[in-house]
């Protein structure tokens, strides 16, 4: 069976303030894949993600999600923005039910579903708290629950783990991988940390800054259940990939 | 191109108003209106907006956003004057006593030039400047000091402010008139009271909401107390202080109007007195003229203080506009 | 902390102390035979209420510590003010008796004029203030939301609002009295205008400055425009809306008093002005106290409580 294309980006160009932000970007992601996008600052990673999310329109080129052209946010797409975004004026449970209720699910039903997700992240006892009462890691988990409860087919993450300490970061990364393995959404993961990109994804796109486009692509061949391999992060194979990506990254910066 | 035509139409709105005034006969219930002053003012508007239009749009020396805003504002003012002139002055709708035509209203600036434009305006501005400036000079340092010293704030300053700040300063007008040697001083005093509290409260708020790490950083860097005040506390709380200055000014204007109204006379004129005095005599053209003049004073005052604000707050990120 | 408790109970003890001084010290020669019942009674009543509050709030820990502390401190300052007033003016006879009555005489007015001042005038004033204020809220918030979410509307209305907001609404009053069928309507209109601008400006500003990502986030989650408005835009702008509403409320009272002093024939401001013209300063001061009381009351027990309910989600400072 041919895998369905989850995300197709063809020849996308985007201008902003009269400058070229993205130039001729092509990208194809199959359903259920986990891919990362890395690149130097201001290379248009976030802009690309926003275009795929349907929050903005490209000036040229096409973007398709699940083989439908995008003009507004696609109901099967979830997106997690840079830094935590919970609605600070909603309690945790109300944050998680925000999506389902927006989509017309009954409140009781939505709360039952949300509670399940909160439990799976060990957040059940925080359901009735305000976001500011949670630690950064807890907030991040709540945000993931908030997205997952909508059962997205495509999940876009912009610096999902930014601003967290290393231990929390690695812990949530593993939780996130397990979650992906279980539910198999297509994940597009934007980060500036090369190690994280390699550790998490099946493919890594390296973008260059000027012009902003895909510079090189790396297939990462690591076991799927990475959390089961002890110290995979520090293995030679992993380090090899990181080095290759780093070389491309440095080259990509020189292009500018 | 399209926008050029649109903007040209807007600019000519004032010229049209001027021509209508010259060539269309006056309404029967308001004959022989003295047209000179209104026409001059429309001509000034026309020239100013035309100048801006050429300089900003055609020569492209101003941002699109800015040109659009000015043009939008011009439409609103232009339509206002045009409709007022046509409906009231030329077609004669509404009763002439309470709804005078713009010609009659603007002529007040000529006929009452000495009393309204010269004496009342200058006295009012002078009172405002004195009361408001003294309030600012006292409130900001005091606010910085109290904001810095938590004990004084919690124990004394906060309770006092909580109790006294919201009291309408106007109720002190009678007392001020009774106690102070002259009316002028009484008016200035209540303006001072009215402006003081919002500026003070906002300064304290600004300091207390300042990230305490800035203060600690300054201390670690060995800043003296004086430098701490001038380089950290004051600039850090400026955004909040400006909010206070704005509210303080609104209150100062209100208090001024009432205090002048109660204490003023022909010998102690002022814009607030002028409005309330001629209200008793039913001169609605004079009232409206004075209200518009107050609006004009406010525009100038706001423009100057915005300039200063922009200059002092350069470090703050600007919004999109 | 037991020491803190002692300070709290000790602070409010100033009120019975004032009563004792009032009874023990002879009246000043220039203000003889002051009727002391109302002043003493008011202080004892106030003391009792405070005692209950502190016991309930501090002793049984039913109120946030900061709030109890504030109430006690405000009361103490108020007590010191009354003490100085009583001793310096009422007992030692400083200042001119004509314009500085003793607190005993002033508080007596609340009872002798109970119908006209305490009840009728208060009622007239409060109804006026709230009609204008609530009207300003009902119209100002939606208009501000619209202006803030529309860049073009924002850039046009912001400068207009800024100028109009500065023009003291009192100067409209004479014209409003001419155009409106009743003086009452004119004053309410003026209060409305005065409260309207700060509410509109702050709402506009709050909505305009919302983190746009919050709205995009809601959109991704599938929220429609209505849900975005009520669940995202309004709560996000709420701190700013409330700040504007507070300024509006304070201005409402200022304008109420101004309007009544200049134009009305009822209300606290009229009462104040009338007795000022006639020269009864005990009544003038009584009116000043009563106006201050109402303003303080509505802000502390009305506005502050609503505000802390609506902003529960914000981390408390300090």
Cβ of C222 within 8 Å of Cβ of A88? The answer is no
Choice between C317 and A206, residue whose per-residue pLDDT is larger: A206
User: Based on the domain organization, do B102 and B118 belong to the same domain?
Assistant: no
User: Based on the domain organization, do B163 and B43 belong to the same domain?
Assistant: no
User: Based on the domain organization, do B234 and B292 belong to the same domain?
Assistant: yes
User: Based on the domain organization, do C29 and C167 belong to the same domain?
Assistant: no
User: Based on the domain organization, do B123 and B52 belong to the same domain?
Assistant: no
User: Based on the domain organization, do C160 and C251 belong to the same domain?
Assistant: yes
Domain membership of residue B276 (yes or no) is yes
Phi, psi of A63 (to 5 degrees): -130, 125
- Give the total number of structural domains in chain C: 2
Q: Which residue of C has its CA nearest to A105?
A: C222
Confidence at residue B319, expressed as pLDDT on a 0 to 100 scale: 41
| Range scoring the smallest mean pLDDT among A30-39, A172-181, A206-215, B258-267 | A206-215
Average pLDDT, chain A: 89
User: Based on the domain organization, do B118 and B258 belong to the same domain?
Assistant: yes
User: Based on the domain organization, do B162 and B303 belong to the same domain?
Assistant: yes
**What span, in angstroms and rounded, lies between the C-alpha atoms of C137 and A210?**
51
pLDDT tens sequence across C133-174: 999 999 999 999 998 888 788 877 777 776 677 677 877 787
Terminal C-alpha separation, chain B: 23
Domain membership of residue C317 (yes or no) is no
DSSP string, chain C: -HHHHHHHHHHHTHHHHHHHHHHHSPPPTTS-S---HHHHHHHHHHHHHHHHHHIIIIIS--S-HHHHHHHHHHHHHHHHHHHHIIIIIIIS--S-TTTS--HHHHHHHHHHTIIIIIIIIHHHHHHHHHHHHHHHHHHHHHHHHHHHT-HHHHHHHHHHHHHHHHS-GGGHHHHHHHHSSSHHHHHHHHHHHHHHHHHHHHHHHHHHTS-HHHHHHHHHTT--HHHHIIIIIHHHHHHHHHHHHHHHHHHHHHHHHHHHHHT-SSSHHHHHHHHHHHT-HHHHHHHHHHHHHHHHHIIIIIIHHHHHHHTTTSPPP-
- Give the total number of structural domains in chain B: 2
Cβ of B247 within 8 Å of Cβ of C198? The answer is yes
Question: What is the span of the domain harbouring residue C14?
Answer: 2-112
User: Based on the domain organization, do B221 and B304 belong to the same domain?
Assistant: yes
Interface of C with B in 9-68 (CB under 8 A): none
Confidence at residue B1, expressed as pLDDT on a 0 to 100 scale: 55
User: Based on the domain organization, do C107 and C131 belong to the same domain?
Assistant: no
User: Based on the domain organization, do B98 and B165 belong to the same domain?
Assistant: no
Both tokens assigned to A52: 């795929």
Domain membership of residue C315 (yes or no) is no
* Residue percentage of chain C with pLDDT more than 70: 98
Residue C179: which CATH number?
1.10.3720.10
Answer with the one of C97, C112, C127 that is the final residue of a domain. Answer: C112
Q: Which of C166, C247, C261 sits opposite B298 (nearest CB)?
A: C166
Domain membership of residue B252 (yes or no) is yes
Confidence at residue A84, expressed as pLDDT on a 0 to 100 scale: 67
Phi, psi of C299 (to 5 degrees): -75, -45
Region C208-212: mean pLDDT is 89
pLDDT tens sequence across C246-269: 999 999 999 999 999 888 899 999
Residue B236: which CATH number?
1.10.3720.10
User: Based on the domain organization, do C121 and C243 belong to the same domain?
Assistant: yes
Domain membership of residue B319 (yes or no) is no
DSSP string, B110-161: HHTIIIIIIIIHHHHHHHHHHHHHHHHHHHHHHHHHHHH-HHHIIIIIHHHH
Domain membership of residue B320 (yes or no) is no
Domain membership of residue C123 (yes or no) is yes
Helix (H, G, I), strand (E, B) or coil at A27: strand
Confidence at residue B257, expressed as pLDDT on a 0 to 100 scale: 86
Written as tens digits, the pLDDT of chain B (321 aa) is 578 888 888 899 999 999 999 999 999 888 888 999 999 999 999 999 999 999 988 888 888 878 888 888 888 889 999 999 999 999 998 888 889 999 999 999 999 999 999 999 999 999 999 999 999 999 999 999 999 998 888 888 888 888 888 889 988 888 888 888 888 999 999 999 999 999 999 999 999 988 888 888 888 888 888 888 988 899 889 888 988 988 898 888 888 888 998 888 888 899 989 988 898 888 999 999 998 998 888 888 878 887 887 787 777 654 433
How does strand A154-158 pair with strand A77-80? Answer: parallel
User: Based on the domain organization, do C70 and C125 belong to the same domain?
Assistant: no
User: Based on the domain organization, do C91 and C150 belong to the same domain?
Assistant: no
Confidence at residue B320, expressed as pLDDT on a 0 to 100 scale: 32
- Using an 8 Å CB-CB cutoff, list chain B residues near C284: 174-175
**Residues from C in contact with A at Cβ < 8 Å:** 213-214, 216-224, 227, 231-232, 235-236, 238, 312-315
pTM to 2 decimal places:
0.87
Answer with the one of B109, B127, B150 that is the final residue of a domain. Answer: B109
Question: What is the span of the domain harbouring residue B79?
Answer: 2-109
- Using an 8 Å CB-CB cutoff, list chain C residues near B245: none
Helix (H, G, I), strand (E, B) or coil at A190: strand
Confidence at residue C16, expressed as pLDDT on a 0 to 100 scale: 96
Domain membership of residue B46 (yes or no) is yes
Using an 8 Å Cβ cutoff, are B196 and B139 in contact?
Answer: yes
Domain membership of residue B317 (yes or no) is no
pLDDT tens sequence across A117-147: 999 999 999 999 999 999 989 999 999 999 9
User: Based on the domain organization, do B291 and B160 belong to the same domain?
Assistant: yes
User: Based on the domain organization, do B163 and B304 belong to the same domain?
Assistant: yes
Query: Which contacts qualify for A15-24: CB closer than 8 Å, 24 or more apart?
Result: A15/A59, A16/A47, A20/A211, A20/A212, A21/A47, A21/A212, A22/A47, A22/A48, A22/A51, A22/A58, A22/A212, A22/A213, A23/A211, A23/A212, A23/A213, A24/A61, A24/A211, A24/A213
Both tokens assigned to A122: 């060990």
Confidence at residue C80, expressed as pLDDT on a 0 to 100 scale: 94
User: Based on the domain organization, do C287 and C142 belong to the same domain?
Assistant: yes
Confidence at residue B321, expressed as pLDDT on a 0 to 100 scale: 30
Domain membership of residue B321 (yes or no) is no
pLDDT tens sequence across A35-70: 999 988 777 888 899 999 999 999 999 999 998 888
Cβ of C231 within 8 Å of Cβ of A55? The answer is no
pLDDT tens sequence across A78-132: 999 877 679 999 999 999 999 999 999 999 999 999 999 999 999 999 999 999 9
Answer with the one of B62, B91, B109 that is the final residue of a domain. Answer: B109
| Of the candidates B147, B283, B138, the residue with the CA atom closest to the CA atom of residue B215 | B147
Any contact of B with C, at least 3 CB pairs below 8 A? Answer: yes
User: Based on the domain organization, do B82 and B120 belong to the same domain?
Assistant: no
C94 Cβ under 8 Å from any chain B Cβ: no
Cβ of C261 within 8 Å of Cβ of B178? The answer is no
Answer with the one of B74, B93, B109 that is the final residue of a domain. Answer: B109
User: Based on the domain organization, do B89 and B191 belong to the same domain?
Assistant: no
Confidence at residue C316, expressed as pLDDT on a 0 to 100 scale: 65
């Amino acid at each position: 069976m041919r895998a369905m294309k989850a995300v197709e980006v063809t020849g996308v160009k985007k201008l902003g303030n009269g400058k070229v932000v993205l130039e001729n970007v092509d990208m194809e992601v199959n359903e259920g894949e986990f891919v990362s996008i890395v690149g130097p600052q201001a290379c248009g990673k976030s802009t690309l993600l926003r275009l795929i999310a349907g929050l903005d329109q490209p000036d040229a080129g096409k973007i398709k999600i699940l083989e439908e052209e995008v003009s507004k946010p696609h109901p099967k797409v979830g997106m997690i923005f840079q830094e935590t975004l919970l609605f600070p004026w909603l309690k945790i449970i109300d944050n998680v039910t925000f999506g389902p209720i927006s989509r017309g699910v009954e409140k009781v039903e939505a709360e039952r579903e949300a509670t399940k997700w909160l439990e799976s992240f060990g957040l059940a006892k925080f359901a009735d708290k305000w976001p500011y009462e949670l630690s950064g890691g807890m907030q991040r988990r709540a945000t993931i629950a908030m997205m997952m409860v909508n059962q997205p087919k495509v999940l876009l993450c912009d610096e999902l783990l930014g601003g967290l300490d290393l231990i929390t970061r690695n812990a949530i990364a593993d939780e996130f991988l397990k979650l992906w393995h279980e539910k198999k959404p297509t994940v597009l993961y934007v980060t500036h940390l090369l190690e994280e990109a390699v550790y998490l994804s099946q493919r890594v796109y390296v973008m260059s800054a000027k012009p902003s486009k895909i510079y090189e692509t790396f297939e990462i061949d690591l076991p799927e259940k990475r959390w089961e391999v002890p110290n995979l992060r520090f293995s030679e194979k992993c380090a090899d990939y990181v080095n290759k990506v780093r070389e491309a990254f440095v080259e990509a910066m020189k292009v500018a | 191109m399209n926008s050029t035509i649109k903007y040209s139409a807007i600019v000519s709105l004032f010229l049209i108003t001027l021509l209508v005034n010259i060539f269309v006969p006056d309404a029967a219930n308001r004959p022989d209106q003295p047209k000179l002053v209104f026409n001059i003012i429309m001509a000034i508007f026309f020239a100013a907006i035309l100048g801006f239009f050429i300089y900003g749009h055609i020569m492209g020396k101003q941002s699109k956003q800015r040109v659009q805003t000015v043009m939008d504002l011009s439409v609103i003012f232009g339509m206002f004057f045009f409709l007022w002139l046509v409906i009231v002055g030329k077609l004669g709708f509404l009763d002439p006593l309470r709804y005078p035509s713009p010609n009659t209203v603007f002529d007040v600036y000529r006929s009452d030039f000495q009393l309204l434009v010269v004496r009342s305006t200058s006295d009012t501005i002078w009172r405002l400047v004195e009361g408001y400036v003294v309030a600012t000079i006292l409130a900001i340092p005091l606010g910085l000091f109290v904001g810095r010293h938590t004990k004084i704030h919690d124990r004394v300053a906060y309770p006092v402010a909580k109790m006294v700040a919201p009291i309408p300063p106007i109720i002190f007008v009678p007392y001020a008139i009774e106690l102070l040697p002259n009316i002028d001083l009484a008016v200035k005093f209540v303006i001072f009271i009215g402006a003081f509290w919002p500026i003070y409260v906002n300064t304290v708020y600004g300091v207390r909401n300042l990230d305490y790490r800035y203060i600690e950083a300054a201390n670690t860097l060995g800043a003296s107390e004086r430098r701490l005040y001038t380089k950290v506390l004051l600039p850090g709380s400026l955004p909040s202080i400006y909010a206070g200055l704005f509210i303080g000014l609104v209150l100062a204007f209100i208090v001024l109007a009432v205090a002048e109204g109660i204490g003023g006379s022909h010998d102690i004129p002022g814009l607030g007195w002028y409005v309330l005095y001629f209200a008793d005599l039913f001169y609605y053209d004079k009232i409206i003229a004075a209200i518009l003049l107050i609006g004009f004073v406010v525009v100038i005052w706001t423009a100057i203080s915005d300039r200063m604000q922009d200059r002092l707050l350069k470090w703050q990120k600007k919004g999109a506009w | 902390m037991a020491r803190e408790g002692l300070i709290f109970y000790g602070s409010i003890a100033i009120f019975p102390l004032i009563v004792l001084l009032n009874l023990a010290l002879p009246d000043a020669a220039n203000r003889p035979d002051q009727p002391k019942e109302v002043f003493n009674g008011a202080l004892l009543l106030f003391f009792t209420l405070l005692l209950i509050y502190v016991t309930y709030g501090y002793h049984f820990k039913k109120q946030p510590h900061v709030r109890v502390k504030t109430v006690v401190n405000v009361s103490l300052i108020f007590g010191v003010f009354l003490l100085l007033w009583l001793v310096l003016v009422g007992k030692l006879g400083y200042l001119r008796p004509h314009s500085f009555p003793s607190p005993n005489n002033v508080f007596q007015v609340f009872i002798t004029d109970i119908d006209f001042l305490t009840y009728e005038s208060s009622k007239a004033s409060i109804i006026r203030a709230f009609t204008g204020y609530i009207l300003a809220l009902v119209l100002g918030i939606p208009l501000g939301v619209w202006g803030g979410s529309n860049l073009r509307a924002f850039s046009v209305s912001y400068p207009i609002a800024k100028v109009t907001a500065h023009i003291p609404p009192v100067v409209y009053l004479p014209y409003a009295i001419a155009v409106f069928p009743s003086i009452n309507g004119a004053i309410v209109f003026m209060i409305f205008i005065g409260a309207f601008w700060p509410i509109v400006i702050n709402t506009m500003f709050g909505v305009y400055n919302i983190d746009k990502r919050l709205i995009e986030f809601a959109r991704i989650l599938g929220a429609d425009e209505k849900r975005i408005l009520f669940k995202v835009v309004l709560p996000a702008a709420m701190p700013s809306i409330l700040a504007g509403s507070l300024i509006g409320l304070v201005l409402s009272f200022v304008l109420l008093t101004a309007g009544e002093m200049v134009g009305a024939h009822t209300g606290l401001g009229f009462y104040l002005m009338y007795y000022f013209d006639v020269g009864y300063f005990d009544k003038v001061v009584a009116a000043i106290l009563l106006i201050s009381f109402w303003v303080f009351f509505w802000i502390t027990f009305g506005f502050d409580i609503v505000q802390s309910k609506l902003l529960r989600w914000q981390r408390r400072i300090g």
